[in-house]
Amino acid sequence: MLNLVIFGPPGCGKGTQSARLVKKYGIQHLSTGDLLRSEISQGTALGLEAKKLMDKGLLVPDEVVIGMIRTRIEGNPQSKGFIFDGFPRTEAQAEALDRLLAEKGNSIAAMLSLEVERDELVRRILGRGKDSGRADDQDPAIIGKRIEEYSRKTAPLIEYYQQQGKYRQVIGQGTIEEIFEKLSDLVDATVN
Ligand code: AMP
């Protein structure tokens, strides 16, 4: 199994690069943001609760996203692996992910961290918001809050994965193809 975490602040290109990595390595994409938006569009109770926090740019509770990830991992025992996108976002989530994978003798191979400057993040997210219509992508104050949540609760995970020797940093500016090549090289170096 090949399990990867794609990491970085909102707007750094995690979703775009995940789609390419999925094709290249035959692994499954698990984005907690996408899963939550799907709950919202289905009008589930979980979705309605999560939406209140997402609209403010705040994280949803750990147990909610951990539960969604557990269901997907346990429901796909034949999978060649997963790319976790937007998860983990807190230390509790990272520990839960390690435990879930360890139950089946698996682990994270590498954490691929995309680094992008703040001004560029805001520019990209506002651009995406025009096409996607996502409320949290259209308001500069909410975007600022999301970046703040990232810096405060999520960025410390760099150290968590550094300690495991799994942190791989990539500059997330340049063309999509250039960044994808750098990511692929890192994955190849990890598995070979
Ligand atoms: P994303 O699509 O990854 O930018 O996520 C959109 C929003 O969903 C975030 O701003 C959070 O409110 C929520 N969310 C997504 N993933 C997580 C997570 N792993 N932990 C907590 N909240 C999350």
Ligand 1 pocket check for 10: Cβ under 6 Å: yes
Percent over 90 (pLDDT), the chain: 95
CB atoms within 10 A of CB 181: 14
Tens digit of pLDDT for each residue in 76-107?
999 999 999 999 999 999 999 999 999 989 99
Ligand 1 pocket check for 5: Cβ under 6 Å: no
Write down the pLDDT at residue 54.
97
Distance 192 CA to ligand 1 centre (A): 32
Q: Mutation test of ligand 1: which of 18, 60, 111, 121 has the most ligand atoms closer than 8 Å to its C-beta?
A: 60
Contact 81, 115 (CB under 8 A): no
Domains in the chain, CATH or no CATH each: 2-191 (3.40.50.300)
pLDDT at residue 192 above 80?
no
Contact 9, 150 (CB under 8 A): yes
Sheet with 82-85, strands from edge to edge, namely 28-31, 82-85, 4-7, 110-115, 167-171
